[in-house]
Structure formats: C-alpha cells, structure tokens
C-alpha cells in the first residue's frame, strides 16, 4: 500500500511513501535525454526529456515507481490490485504497456495538460516486461504545479480524474476515495466550540479536538483522508528546506511502522522509503525506513544529454550527528 501527495509553496513538491514488505533493489535513477526508450506498440523514443526518480533497473531498463522530469512533471504509481484492468493492444488505436507509461509520459510531456492529450485513445496493455514479471496493477498520480490528476484503467476503460485533494492512496477507485471526504467535512484544525458548556472551552481539555474523528488506521481510505486533511491544513514558509520538510511530515502522517500491518505469510508491510521531488530544481530527496536522515540526488549535476542510465544505491544506513 502507498500514499502520494503534492505540496505547493514557492516551489512545487511531489512525493510518496512506498509501503511494501520487501524492496526490489530500487535505486535513485536518472534517465538522460538520449537513453533509448523502446516501446512494445509504438515507435521507439530516442530523444526525450530527462527524468529522475526511484526505479528498479531490470535488463538495463528503468522500471520507475515515481519520477519527475526536467520540466517539472511528476508521477507516481500506486498499487490498485482489485480494480486495475489491462488489455491486449487493440487492433486499432494505441497501446502502451504498463511499465512504459511513466517514462513515456515524462519523456514526452512538459505538463499535465499535454499528458492528458497524449493519453487520448490509449489503452494500457497487459504486456509482461519479462517472462515471469507480469505488469503490476497500478493507478497513477500525475501532477505539475498547476494541475493534478489521477490515471486509472478499470473494466470500463481508461479514466483521467482531476484531483483537487492532491492525494492518492490505493483502493477503492479514485471517485470513491474523494466521495468519502464528505464524511469528514466537519473536521477542522481549529478548536470546536463547546455548545453544551460554553464556560469550559474544549481547548482547556485538549488541543487538537477540531480533528476528532480523523481516522488513524493504516487502511487505504483512512490514509487518503488523513493525508488530505494534513495537506489541506499544512502551513509552510518559503524555501526548499521548509517546503520539503513539510511534505515529509505530511507523508509521515500516513507512514507504516514495522509490525503494525502483518500479512498472511507473517511478513510485515512498512514504509520502505519516502520521496520528495523538488520539481522546480530537479532534486530528488528521500528517506528510508532505517536511515533516519534525508539524502538527495540532483538531476542537473549529471550529463543529461547522455545515453546511459545513472543510478545511485539507496543510503540506508542509520546515522546520528553527535552534538557533544
């Protein structure tokens, strides 16, 4: 299970938690402009926008979980196991394999509006990347600083939904996630009035009572509501440090701790990493479950006109800065 969110100050930030029981050798990966992107059903893309994100590199190809391109367009794929439906490539029309979608959109488009036009008439196909590696069932949060949308392909076709909450988790389909926010319309960051005993303000009892009823469990729907509330009420100053730190805290409200979500086989799901892309500067910040600090890779410090992937292993070592 996963959570993704956008956050806009004087910079545009985009990030996600990746929640799973194990990693797949993911690395922070830069795809430069001349790295060839073969396509199963379309022409190979040989020149495209550069991008950076978290990917599992398999057979020399970046299988991105989330990424941002040099124009500030961001995307993250989140598990959508019960509802995602992929199909064979239609005889007429355009087919894009599930694993091609992120590099194809980021390589081709400078913004959300352009990406939505590119997706018109597209079918996300069920092609396996390799034998024994079937397509992951996902839906996607796609955003720039002006617009945020959700991409889903279900039994009745491909849908693109505007996302005013700027948040996405897993199941159910996005319209149902948004509808559930109606059940929490009374929540507020401000203290409520004690109508039964006006002489005893509730703030004297406890701070934070305006959010009474905010769900705290780890289910997808509860994480969606909690992250939407936290994001809506977040206040940040200007600058990269405050904005990126705030997005890490927004996503931290939905993070999963080891041992709290036990699966059928006894394994525990946890937040393997949290990312925060500064879409304005091309810097990819991240933390891992065990590291305890923020690491970063700057896309623009790499040779972006090259043709070879650049990737960095995750900094996953606990570090403490002693002050005495």
Please list the active-site residues.
2
Backbone angles phi, psi at 257, to 5 degrees: -100, 145
Whose CA is closest to 170, among 244, 76, 262?
Answer: 76
- Token readout for 172 is 């159910």
Helix (H, G, I), strand (E, B) or coil at 213: coil
Tell me which long-range contacts 115-122 makes (C-beta under 8 A, separation of at least 24).
115/73, 115/142, 116/149, 116/160, 119/151, 119/158, 119/160, 121/93, 121/94, 122/93, 122/94, 122/95, 122/96, 122/158
CB 76 within 8 A of CB 163: no
Helices (H), 109-173: 112-118
Strand 148-154 relative to strand 157-162: parallel, antiparallel, unpaired?
A: antiparallel
CA distance 81 to 98: 13
CB 122 within 8 A of CB 151: no
- Length in residues, the chain: 324
Strand 12-20 relative to strand 270-278: parallel, antiparallel, unpaired?
A: antiparallel
CB 41 within 8 A of CB 97: yes
Query: 51 forms bridges with which residues in the sheet?
Result: 31, 69
């Amino acid at each position: 299970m996963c959570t993704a969110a956008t956050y806009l100050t004087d910079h545009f930030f985009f990030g996600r938690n990746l929640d799973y029981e194990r990693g797949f050798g993911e690395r922070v990966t830069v795809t430069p402009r001349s790295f060839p992107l073969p396509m199963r059903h379309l022409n190979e893309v040989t020149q495209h926008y550069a991008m950076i994100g978290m990917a599992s590199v398999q057979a020399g190809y970046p299988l991105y979980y989330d990424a941002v391109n040099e124009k500030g367009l961001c995307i993250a794929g989140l598990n959508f196991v019960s509802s995602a439906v992929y199909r064979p490539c239609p005889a007429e029309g355009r087919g894009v394999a599930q694993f091609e979608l992120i590099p194809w959109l980021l390589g081709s488009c400078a913004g959300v509006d352009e990406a939505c036009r590119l997706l018109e008439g597209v079918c996300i196909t069920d092609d396996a990347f390799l034998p024994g590696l079937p397509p992951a069932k996902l839906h996607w949060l796609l955003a720039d600083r002006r617009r945020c949308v959700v991409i889903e392909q279900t039994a009745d076709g491909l849908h693109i939904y505007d996302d005013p909450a700027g948040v996405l988790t897993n199941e159910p389909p996005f319209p149902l996630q948004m509808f559930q926010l109606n059940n929490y319309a009374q929540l507020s960051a401000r203290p409520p009035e004690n109508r039964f005993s006006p002489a005893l303000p509730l703030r004297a009892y406890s701070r934070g009572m305006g959010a009474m009823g905010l769900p705290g469990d780890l289910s997808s729907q509860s994480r969606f509501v909690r992250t939407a509330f936290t994001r809506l009420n977040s206040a940040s100053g200007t600058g990269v440090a405050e904005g990126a730190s705030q997005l890490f805290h927004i996503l931290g409200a939905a993070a999963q701790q080891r041992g709290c979500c036990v699966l059928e086989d006894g394994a525990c799901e946890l937040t393997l990493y949290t990312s925060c892309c500064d879409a304005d500067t091309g810097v990819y910040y991240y933390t891992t479950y065990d590291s305890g600090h923020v690491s970063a890779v700057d896309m623009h410090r790499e040779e972006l006109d090259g043709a070879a992937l650049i990737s960095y292993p995750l900094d996953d070592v606990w570090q403490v800065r002693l002050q005495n």
